[in-house]
Amino acid sequence: MNMIPSILLCVLITLTIGVEEIEAARAFFVFGDSLVDNGNNNFLATTARADTYPYGIDSQSHRASGRFSNGLNMPDIISEKIGSEATLPYLNPVLDGERLLVGANFASAGVGILNDTGVQFINIIRIGAQLEYFKQYQQRVSALIGEEGAKRLVNQALVLITLGGNDFVNNYYLVPFSARSREYALPDYVVYIISEYRKILLNLYDLGARRVLVTGTGPLGCVPAELAMQGRNGECGADLQKATNLFNPQLVQLINQLNSEIGGPDKHVFIYANAFAMHLDFVENPQEYGFVTSKIACCGQGAYNGIGLCTPASNLCPNRDVYAFWDAFHPSERANRLIVDKIMTGAAQYMHPINLSTIMALDSRI
Ligand SMILES: *[C@@H]1O[C@H](CO)[C@@H](O)[C@H](O)[C@H]1NC(C)=O
Ligand SMILES: *[C@@H]1O[C@H](CO)[C@@H](O)[C@H](O)[C@H]1NC(C)=O
């Protein structure tokens, strides 16, 4: 070992310093469904995709990237706020070498907490597989900066996980008399998926995650697709609202339990982002937030532009900034910005137990 020429040592030291500089910005990892997928499904044979016009119409490239948005989505804007580059989809081959140190996005449109959620989309990365990829990612980073460095990078990272909506929309309520709805009454189904979510969150913790933003579900019954299908004068669909009202409080309870079991009272490993309250603000008072409507999707067709998919043949609104919903299910970039503002600085009814700006301040002191 003492035979290593000093020139090589110099190169090694320089490389290490270079790596540490990149490491200085906090890594960010994203798990979940279409609300946070940055384009993994582009690399899969699935029907759950956002890879054609007009998706991405307001992005820098004006091209569809696989994000279910007219521009940026929630993780992009969080990256912006914490001073990082946007996370690349883990399946994108460009995500390699030092780029891995920025983090990675493992999310896949269509997935849920349960394995049988989203089966109709055929080939998607279910949450178990997302966690397997996270393991593989850590091995790749270990090869780059060593095992200790990789462990530190993951421990100090910010993590976002968004799951649950599809377990209702694309499973329990997908069709009348769905298999799950024959198996479980709604309250029992919620208890079941929360118990499965517990395993997923503990798995994330075991894999090294120490700051995990967990979003609850938004007002699922109020998205344009549901307004169109339920068709009662623009009132939010009652079944999905009931589901949301059962799911979110139990998710808060789960997070409180997990934090006291694993972290101690002031560690705040899991942080609840109340997406329901964040959405409801502009669903109830669109004008106050600069939207002309929170019922009609910008892109789509039929009632509320809520029927079918957003395609090149759909109606498309001229100004995406004044629509809360981009397509039948997903917020516009501007709505995503309002949501992330609340994640950053929201008070206790939005972020429990603390908001992201407080997390950033706490963690900068370590
Ligand atoms: C879902 O699938 C994964 C991988 O096949 C498996 O490990 C897990 O136990 C399954 N979960 C449920 C609830 O069946
Ligand atoms: C959230 O962030 C703001 C501003 O950064 C702070 O003043 C406020 O107290 C925080 N609220 C909570 C509940 O942590």
Q: What is the pLDDT along the chain (366 residues), one digit of tens a residue?
A: 344 444 444 444 444 444 444 445 799 999 999 999 999 999 999 999 999 999 999 999 999 999 999 999 999 999 999 999 999 999 999 999 999 999 999 999 999 999 999 999 999 999 999 999 999 999 999 999 999 999 999 999 999 999 999 999 999 999 999 999 999 999 999 999 999 999 999 999 999 999 999 999 999 999 999 999 986 788 999 999 999 999 999 999 999 999 999 976 668 999 999 999 999 999 999 999 999 999 999 999 999 999 999 999 999 999 999 999 999 999 999 999 999 999 999 999 999 999 999 999 999 865
> Could you tell me if the CB of 348 is within 6 A of ligand 2?
yes
Pocket test for ligand 2, best of 272, 355, 359 (most atoms within 8 A of CB): 355
Residue 50 lies in a domain: yes
Residue 296 lies in a domain: no
Q: What is the pLDDT of residue 18?
A: 43
Q: Which of 176, 150, 276 is nearest to 230 (CA)?
A: 176
Residue 24 lies in a domain: yes
List strand residue ranges (DSSP E) for 51-154, in order. 103-105
Ligand 1: residues with CB < 6 A are 115, 128, 196
Q: What is the pLDDT of residue 264?
A: 67
Cα 129 to middle of ligand 1, angstroms: 9
Given the residues 108, 167, 314, 330, the one annotated as active site? 330
Question: Contact at 8 Å (CB) between 97 and 356?
Answer: no
Cα 64 to middle of ligand 1, angstroms: 32
Question: Contact at 8 Å (CB) between 36 and 73?
Answer: yes
Q: Which of 271, 241, 237 is nearest to 255 (CA)?
A: 271
Query: Half-sphere exposure (CA, 13 Å, Cβ side) for 189?
Result: 23
3-state helix, strand, coil in the chain (%, to 5): 50, 10, 40
Domain CATH number, residue 349 = 3.40.50
Q: What is the pLDDT of residue 326?
A: 98
Bridge partners, 261 (sequence order): none
* Catalytic annotation present for 58: no
Residue 1 lies in a domain: no
Bridge partners, 103 (sequence order): 28
Residue 249 lies in a domain: yes
Residue 85 lies in a domain: yes
* Catalytic annotation present for 59: no
Please state the domain count of the chain: 1
Residue 133 lies in a domain: yes
Given the residues 167, 294, 327, 352, the one annotated as active site? 327
Q: What is the pLDDT of residue 158?
A: 98
State which residues form the domain around 151.
18-175+194-217+244-273+334-364
Q: What is the pLDDT of residue 24?
A: 56
For atom 5 of ligand 2, which residue has the closest CA?
345
* Ligand 2 atom at shortest distance from the alpha carbon of 354: 14
Cα 128 to middle of ligand 1, angstroms: 7
Cα 33 to middle of ligand 2, angstroms: 28
* Strand duo 28-32 + 270-273: pairing: unpaired
Q: Which of 338, 93, 75 is nearest to 67 (CA)?
A: 75
Tell me the whole-structure pTM to 2 decimals.
0.92
Measured between alpha carbons, how far is 28 from 365 in angstroms, rounded to an integer? Answer: 18
For residue 183, count other CB atoms closer than 10 A to its CB: 11
For atom 4 of ligand 1, which residue has the closest CA?
128
